[in-house]
Amino acid sequence: MRISGSVSALSAEVTLSLVLSTGNRRNVAFVVDTGFLGALALPEADLERLGLRVFGQTEATLADGSSCSTLVYEARVAWGEGVLRVAALAMGDRPLLGTALLEECHLGIDFTEGGTVQINPLTR
């Protein structure tokens, strides 16, 4: 597995492929957010447009310490050699990739405009 991206406007971005219920894939650019402990977060309109299924609701704690109720969608994301089923929270104004997907990975970022972003599995 090797996921590559770049830095733009001080955001580390990578493109992931979401697997839709039809079997089709849709590429989505995600901002890597190491302060987000979940897997994925997307604006609710994007989740609905992708046709993802709602499977619950949860309380999410925001960066300012406040909490809010949000819908949880089931997403399938191409990750490494396979496809992972993950929770995608309906929140925010841009897609986020959180640390739940970065576990057991090395994240490297050259934090300069146009710099590289690399996500690779840890080797043990």
Q: How much is the pLDDT for 76?
A: 96
Over residues 6-51, the pLDDT tens digits come to 999 999 999 999 999 888 999 999 999 999 999 999 999 999 999 9
Hey, what domains does the chain have and what are their CATH numbers? 3-107 (2.40.70.10)
Q: Residue 60 and residue 67: Cα distance in Å, rounded?
A: 5
Q: How much is the pLDDT for 8?
A: 96
Q: Residue 60 — pLDDT band, cuts 50, 70, 90?
A: confident
Q: 25-32 and 82-90 as β-strands: parallel, antiparallel, unpaired?
A: unpaired
Give the residue among 112, 122, 123, 107 at the shortest CA–CA distance from 30. Answer: 107
Over residues 75-94, the pLDDT tens digits come to 999 998 899 999 999 999 99
Q: What is the dihedral of CA 67, 70, 72, 73, to 10 degrees?
A: -140
